[in-house]
Amino acid sequence: MNLHGQIALVTGASRGIGRAIALALGRSRSHVVVNYRDNQAAAEESLAKIVAEGGQGELCPFDVAEENQVEAAVKGIVDHHKKIDILVNNAGTTSDSLLMRIKPADWDQVIGTNLKGTVLCTKIVSRYMIRQHFGRIMNLSSVVGQMGNSGQSLYAASKAGIIGFTKAVAREVASRSVTVNVVAPGFIETDMTAKLPEKLREEFLHAIPLGRFVTCEEVAEMIVFLAGEKSGYITGQVFGINGGLYM
């Protein structure tokens, strides 16, 4: 896929899936804006890897849940590059506990980052995409948002919310050639899943028809396809990459 000249913002690109997406977009020759919130050293490593592979990009720290920060960051990108073509709403977090133990702070953290963050970044970036009559927005959901998971009700709510949000926005912006799609991975080996109890991880492995967890690179390949010119007629869709865990 050749995305030469395209400006791509990837939220949460310092680690895990976001880093793999940023690297894949860099290999596809887009200019990658590497967002993160806290972990500057990891974000610098992501950018160094992009450059080492012949790509180009820049760092752009902001909290996706803070509207003022998103506004300022996106304005900075557009002031500098004169456009923004690709948005990957990847930044995410989880705080797992049974329903009865959920605290207001868990709600703020999980819904705030995953759902509010996706809404804010999409709202602010799509404003420019609508004006330029082009844009590709990819939102990271999860198989958990499609099928639920005990102990992850808040996370499931945030990720299911992203699916409904995507379909509604896809209808709003389609006339301006802006597409909005969801990529919903199954379980991947990242910092996030490292926190899952071992017993739960084993149970999931047994339930996956293809018998293994998905890799970050497999998710990134789907993102690159959706960012490219061959996916122009695809919008409002949910792409599960889950080894058949949810059909």
16 near ligand NAP, judged by CB under 6 A: yes
Q: How far apart are CA 54 and CA 29, in angstroms?
A: 8
113 near ligand NAP, judged by CB under 6 A: yes
Q: At 40, give phi and psi (nearest 5°).
A: -65, -40
14 near ligand NAP, judged by CB under 6 A: yes
Site size for ligand NAP, by CB under 6 A?
31
26 near ligand NAP, judged by CB under 6 A: no
- Options 1-9, 52-60, 86-94, 204-212: segment touching ligand NAP (CB under 6 A): 86-94
Cβ proximity to ligand NAP: between 11 and 126 the closer is 11
- Options 127-135, 163-171, 174-182, 183-191: segment touching ligand NAP (CB under 6 A): 183-191
Long-range contacts: 63-69, Cβ < 8 Å, 24+? 63/37, 63/117, 64/11, 64/12, 64/35, 64/37, 64/89, 64/91, 64/113, 64/116, 64/117, 64/118, 64/120, 64/121, 65/112, 65/113, 65/116, 65/117, 65/120, 66/120, 67/120, 67/124
Question: Could you tell me which of 116, 168, 160, 170 has the C-alpha nearest to residue 138?
Answer: 170
Q: How far apart are CA 117 and CA 123, in angstroms?
A: 10
Cβ proximity to ligand NAP: between 14 and 153 the closer is 14
Q: How far apart are CA 10 and CA 47, in angstroms?
A: 12
- Options 50-58, 96-104, 191-199, 202-210: segment touching ligand NAP (CB under 6 A): 191-199
- Options 38-46, 51-59, 80-88, 229-237: segment touching ligand NAP (CB under 6 A): 38-46
Cβ proximity to ligand NAP: between 132 and 190 the closer is 190
166 near ligand NAP, judged by CB under 6 A: no
Active site residue 155: yes
Q: How far apart are CA 173 and CA 194, in angstroms?
A: 37
93 near ligand NAP, judged by CB under 6 A: yes
Using CB under 6 A, which of 1, 9, 50, 64 touches ligand NAP? 64
Show which residues are catalytic.
Answer: 155
